[in-house]
């Protein structure tokens, strides 16, 4: 008797081209798959979009603009809870469940020679590279050295101190390219799986738009990295702090500067 996976004798098995849609009735993992898929767009993808195209792009304008942006983010109300529930937890969920999907699936790139399967494999590897990069980037930027929430004027110099080293700069580039591709192609996957964009022509148009988004993300990220590398080194220690001249301060008693 033919099983669900092997066709009956004489029946040709037709392998569907493209991305399998998410269907109801795929077992207990259905809700987790949906959450994984959604979390890639909101909040994780939305955060990546903001981080590259808005916050880090201000570095192109220079250290002061960058410090103001970091200061704005650091002073958002309940910033710790926003970071914890809005960024860290969703990234952890998406990443860990992503590794589980990777482990459970098979990267059948040799067996099915159309490009969709290369994309399938690239989606997993870019996710893995992004994960290693995000762990390292968060650790060095948030949990080592000068605390940028207390000392936003040090932000530009702190990033410079990393990207001035060629190996770390290349790691930034790898993380940027991997995360940008993963997110941009992820929008296409999401739209296909949720049935938002169906039909060959519409999906091809969307794929082109996603490739443009990938190039825009990489372009903006590389332009910011260039600004960090090409601007003279900024102070990170006390010299990088916002300084106030006491004579300008309402409580001024002498001409000393405080930090």
What are the residues binding ligand HEM (CB under 6 A)? 37, 40-41, 44-45, 48, 94-95, 98-99, 101-102, 123-124, 127-128, 130-131, 179, 182-183, 186-187, 189-190, 193
Q: Who contacts 20 (Cβ-Cβ below 8 Å, separation ≥6)?
A: 193
The least CB distance from residue 94 to ligand HEM, in Å, is 5
For the CB of residue 99, give the shortest distance to ligand HEM in the complex, in Å: 5
Closer to ligand HEM by Cβ: residue 22 or 60: 22
> Which is nearer to ligand HEM, 125 or 145 (by Cβ)?
125
In this complex, which beta carbon is closest to ligand HEM, that of residue 68 or of residue 124? 124
Q: How far is the CB of 166 from ligand HEM (least distance, A)?
A: 24
In the complex, the smallest distance separating the C-beta of residue 27 from ligand HEM, rounded to whole angstroms, is 14
Which of residues 119 and 146 has its CB atom nearest to ligand HEM in the complex?
119
- Helices 166-193 and 155-163, packing angle to 10 deg: 100
Least distance (Å) between residue 123 CB and ligand HEM: 5
Query: Is the CB of 187 or the CB of 218 nearer to ligand HEM?
Result: 187
Decide if 124 contacts 94 (C-beta within 8 A): no
| Residue 95 Cβ vs ligand HEM, minimum distance, rounded to whole Å | 4
Closer Cβ to ligand HEM, 221 or 240, answer by number? 221
């Amino acid at each position: 008797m033919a099983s669900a996976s092997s066709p009956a004798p004489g029946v040709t098995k037709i392998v569907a081209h493209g991305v399998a849609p998410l269907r109801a009735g795929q077992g207990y993992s259905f809700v987790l798959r949906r959450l994984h898929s959604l979390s890639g767009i909101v909040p994780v993808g939305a955060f990546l979009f903001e981080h590259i195209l808005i916050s880090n792009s201000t570095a192109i304008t220079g250290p002061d603009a960058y410090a103001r942006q970091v200061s704005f983010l650091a002073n958002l109300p309940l910033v710790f809870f926003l970071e914890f529930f809005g960024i860290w937890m969703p990234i952890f969920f998406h990443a860990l469940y992503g590794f589980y999907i990777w482990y459970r699936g098979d990267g059948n790139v040799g067996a099915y020679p159309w490009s969709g399967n290369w994309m399938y494999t690239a989606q997993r590897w870019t996710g893995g590279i992004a994960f290693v990069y995000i762990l390292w980037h968060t650790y060095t930027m948030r949990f080592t050295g000068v605390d940028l929430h207390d000392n936003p004027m040090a932000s530009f110099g702190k990033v410079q101190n990393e990207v001035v080293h060629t190996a770390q700069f290349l790691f930034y580039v790898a993380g940027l390219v991997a995360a940008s591709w993963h997110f941009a192609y992820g929008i296409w996957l999401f739209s296909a799986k949720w049935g938002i964009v169906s039909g060959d022509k519409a999906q091809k148009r969307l794929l082109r738009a996603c490739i443009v988004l990938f190039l825009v993300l990489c372009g903006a990220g590389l332009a910011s990295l260039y600004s960090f590398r090409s601007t003279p080194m900024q102070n990170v220690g006390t010299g990088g702090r916002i300084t106030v001249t006491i004579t300008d301060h309402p409580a001024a008693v002498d001409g000393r500067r405080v930090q």
